[in-house]
Amino acid sequence: MNKRIIIVLAMLSFISETSHAQLIKSYGLSLGAVNSSQEWFSSGVHLEDFHSRWGFNAGAFIEGAQLSFLNFEVELRFTQSGSVYTPPYQPQLYPDGTGPGPNAHFYSREDYLSPSILVKLNHRMPGGSLYLVAGPKLNVLVYSDPQMSFRETDLGGVFGVGFTFARILPFQTFAEFRYSPNFTYSFDDGSQTVRTHSIDFLLGVTL
């Protein structure tokens, strides 16, 4: 069985077992947009023709019982990552007009499933609760462009701030902003390396 599938199934099993424990406070879902950037280096030289791209982000989480002002979350999130390559316009190299045009863009896409364990610090205030969230995550590659050999797994982190609104329905809603850098390379062929990071904008519900 593919190693990536085994990792994802193991994480889903862990979340399922955790959800039946008495320490579970709540669970929820979140959706949002992700602005993904990739830092490309070739022989140590930063390639500046790669730019950020937008994608989709969705996740499910289990929240542990609150201890004073903090609690823990176990999360599994799907993220569309990648970048946009804008080649330099050099018509003198292609006098026959076959080269990239002045507005040429090439999109790369990598999709990940990312299990994470997060610490959440809460501060109650009028109208809801302000919180900070942080923790490590494992990125498991589930799709990439065939011409690129991205690593099957890499390690990253989550650092975010959000606000949970006061409950007025059977569920609570929240809005969250995250910065998610990678600590290891997403791609490394010996001469070129890629490190990915993203900014996430999330809306969710807690049940």
The pLDDT value given to residue 104: 61
Distances (CA, A) of 146 to 56, 101, 108, 159: 20, 24, 10, 31
Q: Could you tell me the maximum CA-CA distance found in the chain, to the nearest angstrom?
A: 71
Alpha carbon distance 172, 122 (integer Å)? 15
Domain count, the chain: 1
Give every CB contact of residue 68 below 8 A, 6+ residues apart in sequence. Answer: none
The pLDDT value given to residue 2: 62
- What residue ranges in the chain does DSSP mark as E strands? 24-42, 45-47, 50-51, 53-64, 70-85, 106-125, 128-144, 153-165, 172-181, 187-188, 192-206
Q: What domain range is 102 assigned to?
A: 3-206
Q: Which amino acid is at 135?
A: G
The pLDDT value given to residue 182: 94
Rg (CA), the chain: 20
DSSP lists the bridge partners of residue 107 as: 84
The domain spanning residue 82 has which CATH number?
A: 2.40.160.20
pTM of structure: 0.80
* Residuewise pLDDT in 10s, the chain (207 residues): 566 556 555 655 555 554 454 567 788 999 999 999 988 888 877 777 777 899 999 999 998 866 767 888 999 999 999 888 776 655 555 555 555 555 666 667 899 999 999 999 999 888 899 999 999 999 999 998 877 788 999 999 999 999 999 887 788 999 999 999 999 999 888 888 989 999 999 999 998
